[in-house]
């Protein structure tokens, strides 16, 4: 498992579906450089069970992300055509119709591999002279907060059965943006309106003395 925090987010160009219906052949996060923060998240598969709850939950919070100037982008190992089919299936039939943010297709599994969230790995079976795959050929539930310079500032990876907190993703955006704007660091459980502190021994002591 890779730790990408503090490093440039791995580059990719891949097929995607945007606005719930439009195919894009070479989608890239580079379009957001210098303009937006990005929440880039992986989910295992289309037409599954936990995944639509997360994907729809992100859509339900899009106003919150947009007012923070944050782009939300999802990715799985499905094809763009499968994404399109799921995006155009009604929710009462297990679909995610109404989701508008981009869903990236990672059929080759290279994006998930480069981000360190592929739930298995390729190996070579010398005895049978063939390549094999050990584990699940899907992505863990990885989430990456990427700043305007393309650097990963936060990541979290859940196992396949464990859905994520969208509110926590928003809190991390708030913390990063607060730090970028004010230079103060955010202590445990910080949220907008709470006191932050300076990254010095005196600052920590002063903060702890009040709490």
Could you list the active site residues? 51
CA dist., res. 158 & res. 142, Å (int): 6
Give the dihedral sign, CA 12/15/17/19: positive
- How does 172-207 read in b/e, with b if 16+ C-beta sit within 10 Å? bbbbbbbbeeeebbbeeebeeeeebbeeeeeeeeeb
């Amino acid at each position: 498992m890779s730790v990408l925090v503090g490093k440039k987010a791995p580059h990719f160009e891949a097929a995607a579906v945007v606005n719930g219906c439009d195919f894009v052949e070479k989608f890239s996060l580079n379009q957001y450089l210098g303009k937006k923060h990005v929440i880039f998240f992986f989910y295992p598969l289309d037409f599954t069970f936990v995944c639509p709850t997360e994907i729809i939950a992100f859509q339900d919070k899009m106003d919150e992300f947009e007012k923070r100037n944050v782009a939300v982008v999802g990715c799985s190992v499905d094809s763009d055509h499968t994404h399109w089919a799921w995006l155009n299936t009604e929710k009462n039939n297990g679909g995610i119709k109404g989701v508008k943010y981009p869903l990236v297709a990672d059929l080759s599994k290279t994006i998930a591999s480069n981000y360190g969230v592929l739930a298995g790995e390729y190996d070579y079976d010398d005895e049978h002279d063939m390549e094999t795959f050990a584990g699940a050929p899907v992505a863990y539930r990885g989430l990456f907060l990427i700043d305007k310079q393309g650097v990963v500032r936060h990541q979290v990876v859940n196992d396949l059965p464990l859905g994520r907190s969208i509110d926590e993703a928003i809190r991390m955006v708030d913390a990063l943006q607060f730090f970028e704007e004010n230079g103060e660091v955010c202590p445990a459980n910080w949220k907008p309106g709470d006191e932050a502190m300076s990254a010095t021994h005196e600052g920590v002591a002063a903060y702890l003395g009040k709490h």
